[in-house]
Structure 1
Amino acid sequence: MSREIELILLSLDQAYDRKSWHGSNLKGAVRGLDAEAASRRPAPGRPSIQELVVHLAYWKYAVLRQLADLPRGAFPLKGSNWFPRGDADATQWKVDLALLDRMHRDLRAAVAALDPADLDRPSAKAQYRIRDLILGTAAHDLHHGGQIQLIKRLGTPR
């Protein structure tokens, strides 16, 4: 495995589930949340933490699809981008967390299998390189992980 692929994997892992200098990663942000807290909306019309988790799983899949040449519609849920979740449901919350884990593992495995030359290949829309999509996934985890931390604080009275 090339040094660049190793560094990209490190970025993915630190954003998702490995210790890093910036504080809590995405897994740390959702650790210990119950279904009630995960389903709470910070404001009307705003996504819940649970909806953010499924959104993150979807975009890991979207990048994975380009690396592994998966067909459109291979994501386990119908739709794209945002997936409405209703009232607190402990079983569904666990299923959604498992989906996020699976998409991360699958994406990570696809990145590890890349030839370094693939990193400069244009994405399907040719707007970005494959490297940009993968690193963008790490940034996406960090962005929404921070949002999740804020949502949790909003739900906790001082």
Structure 2
Amino acid sequence: MAEKNMSDDIEAYLKQILASNQQIEIRRTEIAERFNVVPSQINYVIKTRFTIQKGYLVESKRGGGGYIRIGRFSVRQDVLVLEQMLNCFDVTLTERMANDILETLYREKLLSQREAVLLSAMVARESLMLGNLTIENQLRSQIMRQLLHRLRLEHEGE
């Protein structure tokens, strides 16, 4: 449980910095020292909490002068991000990942609150209960792919 709390603290710290900057560049070892954790803990937080589904682009460079760059993106300003969202999952998609995508689309005003809630209900485990988790995740992936393709087409038409 303490590890989860530390992950929450690291996430909150990074989001606090991001609140005043569109993009930040950090050194994994410096953040690890600040929170008295191993550098792999920083990797874990970034990999699980700063995903493209949640509205973040992450770039990293390893080595002595290495860094991790985290940026918030705006789907409304960059149609290529919709393409990257499509490429971030394959033929299966978990309910959590689908909801992360829907939350990002809502935050970016590509979906209304009502649309996001309805779509979330459609891709929920209870709605797709087919008795086979793999098939449920495949169906969820197909639904979200169609949504993202449609949004991309609408966005390109603007």
Classify the TM-score, shorter chain. Answer: 0.3 to 0.5
TM-score (normalizing by structure 2): 0.33
Structure with the greater relative contact order (CA < 8 A, sep ≥ 6): 1 or 2?
Answer: 1
Hey, which of these two has a bigger chunk of strand by percent?
Answer: 2
